[in-house]
Amino acid sequence: MLLQEASVLLMVAFSLEILSIINIIAWLYALYSIKSSIKCLFKLEDNYPKTNEELRASVIIPVRNEEEIISLLLKSLTNQKGIKSLEIIIVDDNSTDNTASIVKEYMKKYKSIKYIRVNKIPSGWMPKPYLYYTGYNLANGDVLFFIDGDTWIKSKDLLLKVANIILETNGVVSLVPIFMCKTIRCKLIETLLTTFSHAFMGFNRVYNKNDKLAWYYGCCWGIKKKLYEKLGTHKIVRDSIVEDRDFAEHVKRNGFDIRIIHASGNVITKWYDKIHDTVDVLARVLRRHGVKKPRALIHSLLVFLGYYLPIITLVYGIVYGFQILVVLGIIQYILLVINHVYGAGLNGYSKLFSIVSPIFGITLSIGLLKASLSEKVYWKNRIVEEPLRIRRRLS
């Protein structure tokens, strides 16, 4: 009996050794990918024209219950310098808070602000693509900026700098934001998400023409109006539940560029303080990966092991006296921390968050599971109807 138990313990220990070595290789690759992704970020230069008399730009802002942030955004936009013709278009998706009242107060002071309320989303459209498209139909600018209602800008000449880059770019220009959190837990989770996205979906892959992966930060991006029209506007992704990713794929597929600009902390966007809100976002973003349930379950398990195998290995090694497992567990967790230092740094958080952040890896696994198993998709705290093509695949 004792021999049998010892045999089982050795077998488990050997399995943990093999899995740990694989996990170490995976996180070494992740570290290389993060560094490569960050190197791909363009920096804003100061050698740009201080004003552009001829430039006409439009900022299209989709909102739904954004009373907390909209004032910050409007203040930051009305303070922009250098663009003589800058119109601000607010498209309100039936807000039930004070968003409309705040916007209308600003409209009394600034004639450049337009406001339109959408009470019903037409059949065949998801909310956000329709809000973008509605704003585009009102826009007079040669350059279009799309900025989320929970985002704001610090630099007073940022749009001028970015507009000049947009005019020189044959594609989309997106700005890397800092994710604002009110709680420590939120910062820990956002450190995790930023790290994971750069590690396994880095911009080194986005820039690679032979890689199908394409995405950009949808909270703040811009494009020439004529190119936007040439690409088909948001009509192309009207039924998308992740319109920025799908539009990015459309841009790349058609041979146009995606340029990601490091905004140096000048773009700030609000993130969710509650874990269930983050899980809902992940479930929506990862919905496509949840269509094939067996694959989604495997990916969820792999993510779980990637984050928790170091702890499992370490504890098993300590309890049953396998020193090699203790060492492997420590090495794995050190690698996790090193990876997440970059995620914390990109958001302007303390590097100390990287020590605890990996413990929240379960959030990613749950998000992927929910993407596969849940029948509901949430957007702005309400259920939205998925495109028929996805519902058919799920059924």
Residue 391 pLDDT: 46
H-helix or E-strand spanning residue 262: strand 257-262
pLDDT interval class at 54 (50, 70, 90):
confident
pLDDT interval class at 262 (50, 70, 90):
very high
Residue 288 pLDDT: 81
Q: Are strands 267-270 and 151-153 parallel, antiparallel or unpaired?
A: antiparallel
Residue 196 pLDDT: 98
Per cent of the chain over pLDDT 90 is: 82
Q: Which segment of 81-85, 297-301, 387-391 scores lowest on mean pLDDT?
A: 387-391
Per cent of the chain over pLDDT 70 is: 94
Q: pLDDT tens for residues 303-349?
A: 999 999 999 999 999 999 999 999 999 999 999 999 999 999 999 99
Per-residue pLDDT at 387 exceeds 60 = no
Task: Note whether 361 and 308 are within 8 A (CB).
Answer: yes
The Cα 373–Cα 231 span in angstroms is 34
Predicted TM-score (pTM) of the model is 0.91
Per-residue pLDDT at 23 exceeds 80 = yes
Q: Is 195 exposed, middle or buried (0-12, 13-18, 19+ CB in 10 A)?
A: buried
Average pLDDT over residues 43-62: 82
Residue where the block lists tokens 């916007």? 103
What value does the mean pLDDT of the chain take? 92
Task: Note whether 269 and 148 are within 8 A (CB).
Answer: yes
DSSP state of 305: H
Task: Note whether 102 and 71 are within 8 A (CB).
Answer: yes
Residue 395 pLDDT: 47
The Cα 274–Cα 69 span in angstroms is 17
Q: What residues does each domain of the chain span? A: 2-37+281-383, 42-177+217-270
- Selection from 358, 367, 353 nearest residue 332 by Cα: 358
Instruction: Provide Rg for the chain, Cα atoms.
Output: 23
Q: pLDDT tens for residues 170-226?
A: 999 999 999 999 999 999 999 999 999 999 999 999 999 999 999 999 999 999 999
**Residues facing 152 on adjacent strands:** 268
> CATH fold of 42-177+217-270, please?
Spore Coat Polysaccharide Biosynthesis Protein SpsA; Chain A (3.90.550)
